[in-house]
Amino acid sequence: MPTGLIAALDTTDAAQAQRWANAVAPHCGLLKLGLEFFLAHGAEGLRGITQRPIFLDLKLHDIPNTAAGGVRAVLPLRPAMLTLHASGGAAMIGAARKEAEKAGAERPILLAVTVLTSMDTEALHSIGVAGGPRQQVLRLARLALDAGADGLVCSAQEVAMLRDALGDGPTLVVPGIRPAGADIGDQSRVMTPTDAARAGASWIVVGRPITQASNPAQAAAAIAAELGAAA
């Protein structure tokens, strides 16, 4: 399977999100809208941006009943993908999956976030996690998949390890991507689209290299072409 391209439209400005969506949608498999847009504009705002299924990146984390309620609340938007925190535990993930199943064949792909890339070993120790990030990522990845997640959001540094450990089954979605020569912004460890594809990414998520380009459509088209060539 060739690696797909997801454009992250990170803004609270609905008009801006609309312009970006119009420009890049023809070159992307999916558009990602996250917490900042959803909190600012809600379901109606989201429907206004595109009628196509989107990647709704809300990173749900709550007791099972409430997380399932969150899934239920967004199912009418027909998201293609939905995120939740693996650290919410097996019962939460199982409840989310059970609720998602109610959408039948159109159910969203559930992606678990393992360890936030902003957490290093020291930060993990401070919240009571003894091992390092890689151990914790793998532990939470296995827990999430066993509990009903379809895949994982993982960093470029983790994708090869997870593909090796977990096989071809799980959907692996990888942010922190920079085309060769691009400004890395606040992402500290990045990977090119080609390298991420070769490491086993099912999808890559690209934000600023597309949205901040002088021509977002062209930037998205170039990344899509690179992924096509890497396949």
CA distance readout (Å), 151 to 62, 85, 207:
19, 12, 20
Cβ(168)–Cβ(147) below 8 Å: no
- Residue 206 interacts with ligand C5P (CB under 6 A): yes or no: yes
Cβ(17)–Cβ(11) below 8 Å: yes
- The Cα 110–Cα 149 span in angstroms is 5
- Residue 8 interacts with ligand C5P (CB under 6 A): yes or no: yes
- Residue 153 interacts with ligand C5P (CB under 6 A): yes or no: yes
- Residue 176 interacts with ligand C5P (CB under 6 A): yes or no: yes
Strand 109-113 with 151-153, pairing = parallel
- Residue 11 interacts with ligand C5P (CB under 6 A): yes or no: no
CB of 56: closest distance to ligand C5P in angstroms?
12
Cβ(59)–Cβ(10) below 8 Å: no
Would you list the DSSP string of 34-62?
A: EHHHHHHHHHHHHHHH-SS--EEEEEE-S
Residues in binding contact with ligand C5P, number by CB under 6 A: 15
- The Cα 47–Cα 73 span in angstroms is 14
- Residue 87 interacts with ligand C5P (CB under 6 A): yes or no: no
Neighbouring-strand partners of residue 31? 7
Which residue in 168, 222, 218, 223 sits closest to 20, CA to CA?
Answer: 218
Between residue 61 and residue 80, which ones bind ligand C5P under the rule CB under 6 A?
none
- Residue 86 interacts with ligand C5P (CB under 6 A): yes or no: no
**Closer to ligand C5P by Cβ: residue 89 or 133:** 133
**Closer to ligand C5P by Cβ: residue 95 or 205:** 205
* Contact window for ligand C5P (CB under 6 A) among 68-76, 88-96, 134-142, 205-213: 205-213
Active site residue 59: yes
**Interface pick for ligand C5P out of 34, 89, 133, 170 (rule CB under 6 A):** 34
**Closer to ligand C5P by Cβ: residue 99 or 211:** 211
**Interface pick for ligand C5P out of 61, 72, 139, 208 (rule CB under 6 A):** 208
Q: What is the binding site for ligand C5P (CB under 6 A)?
A: 8, 10, 34, 117, 153, 155, 175-176, 185, 187, 205-209
Active site residues: 59
